Amino acid sequence: MAKPYSSDLRDRVIQAIEAGHSQIDVATLLKIGRRTVVRYVEKWRKTGSVKPRKFGGHKKHKLAEHAATVKAFVKAEPDQTLAELQVKLEKVNIKVSASAIDRFLKVSKITYKKNSIRHRAAKGRRR
């Protein structure tokens, strides 16, 4: 997603509209899309401001509210895989993907068995 246009440009759009220019003329003059001008004018008429909304930020993890449950499952059996943990969580009506569990465990700094298929490499033999 691209960054929002500056507040200065947004203000110039509104000033041009107030000066009597059409939305198409303003879009051409400022070299922005006509739909962008339409959105700015609509927002300005509804709220009186064309300030951009918050951009970016942190999204709360789905498992944040179930942290105690997840930690208890991992503490009870620390060598379980993500798939096994996912099944246990589904049994208590917490439905999340394995990747969501992985992200939550990494953020919470909880270690777990990474993959049930991966095994320790055998020692190489010298011939």
**What is the tens place of the pLDDT at every residue in 48-84?**
999 988 887 777 888 889 989 999 998 888 888 888 8
| Residue 39 Cα distances to 17, 25, 36, 59, 69, angstroms | 13, 15, 5, 26, 45
Q: Collapsing DSSP states into helix, strand and coil, what is residue 59?
A: coil
Residue ranges in the chain modelled with pLDDT below 70: 1, 112-127
Question: What pLDDT score does 117 carry?
Answer: 55
d(CA 85, CA 103): 13
Q: What is the DSSP letter of 117?
A: S
Total residue count of the chain as it appears in this document: 127
